[in-house]
């Protein structure tokens, strides 16, 4: 399998700040992989995701998507991304159908493909009956589902979701998780952040944990389970982020410590 996403020494420093928000971040997401990106509030997750999608410029390092360097070939790289941000952004005077068609136009999706996909996703998320209403009148959860559909309409190789389950009802959350699995089974990849660690533990192939802008640990769920004396992923997450916060040993994939070299 090849890499859908390769991040090498990614660093981001905001204007006016002396400290890096993200520093020397390195990890890969392989084809067909469901990859979780975890960290406490303020760890740098959203900053990293925005850099990967091109929503933010990064200070140093490189991002490659399906072999395209984001700096050198930004359009080619971004064509392979579908992005669901943590705070949904929609043109609220558009109807759901208009927004979906707008996204399909941007990515050059053919009429037949967009129709088939839009009908499938609108039905799945119980939005078919309100698809001709302006999204400004939608609830938070309904807007989130329209963002999901807009991000999937071109069947991207890399689907990126930042806290995607927030505000979704149980049925929609279940359907979204099933879509993520389905997307990976088709040879695509999913990168998502979440604070719901129980979901990550059940859903994902691999996990990266970031704190204070640096990678603490990265590995497959099997590797983490084999090295995890704490029991659950939640307990492991709290243990390694507490160690980082208290100035203890920094656990990452480059350390010689067998316990944390995943």
Assign 251 a pLDDT band (cuts: 50, 70, 90).
very low
Q: What are phi and psi of 52, to 5 degrees?
A: -65, -40
CA atoms within 13 A on the CB side of 82: 24
Distance, in Å, from the CA atom of 137 to the CA atom of 81, rounded to the nearest integer, reads 28
pLDDT at 49 over 80: yes
- The pTM for the full model equals 0.88
Q: Are 154 and 117 in contact (CB under 8 A)?
A: no
Instruction: Give the residue carrying structure tokens 């981001």.
Output: 12
Sheet of 22-30, strands arranged across: 22-30, 3-12, 60-65, 68-69
Burial class (CB in 10 A: 0-12, 13-18, 19+), 47: buried
Q: Report pLDDT digits (tens) over 111-165.
A: 999 999 999 999 999 999 999 999 999 999 999 999 999 999 999 999 999 999 9
pLDDT at 259 over 70: no
Q: Are 99 and 135 in contact (CB under 8 A)?
A: yes
């Amino acid at each position: 399998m090849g890499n859908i996403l390769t991040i090498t020494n990614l660093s981001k420093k905001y204007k006016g700040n002396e400290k890096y928000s993200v520093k020397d971040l390195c990890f890969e997401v392989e084809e067909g992989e469901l990859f979780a990106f975890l960290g406490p509030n303020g760890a740098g997750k959203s900053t990293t995701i925005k850099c990967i999608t091109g929503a933010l410029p990064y200070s140093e390092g490189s991002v490659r998507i399906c072999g395209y360097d984001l700096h050198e070939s930004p359009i080619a790289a971004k064509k392979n991304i579908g992005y669901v941000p943590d705070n949904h952004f929609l043109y609220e005077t558009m109807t759901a159908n208009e927004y979906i068609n707008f996204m399909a136009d941007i990515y050059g999706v053919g009429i037949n493909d967009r129709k088939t996909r839009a009908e499938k996703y609108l039905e799945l998320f119980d939005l078919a009956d309100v698809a001709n209403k302006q999204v400004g009148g939608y609830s938070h959860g309904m807007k989130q589902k329209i963002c999901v559909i807009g991000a999937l309409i071109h069947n991207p190789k890399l689907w990126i979701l930042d806290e995607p389950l927030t505000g979704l009802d149980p049925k929609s959350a279940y359907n979204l998780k099933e879509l993520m699995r389905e997307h990976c089974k088709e040879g695509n990849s999913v990168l998502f952040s979440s604070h719901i660690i129980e979901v990550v533990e059940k859903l994902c192939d691999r996990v990266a944990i970031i704190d204070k802008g640096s990678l603490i640990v990265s590995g497959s769920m099997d590797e983490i389970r084999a090295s995890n004396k704490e029991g659950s992923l939640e307990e492991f997450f709290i243990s390694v982020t507490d160690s980082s916060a208290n100035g203890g040993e920094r656990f990452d994939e480059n350390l010689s410590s067998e316990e944390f070299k995943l």
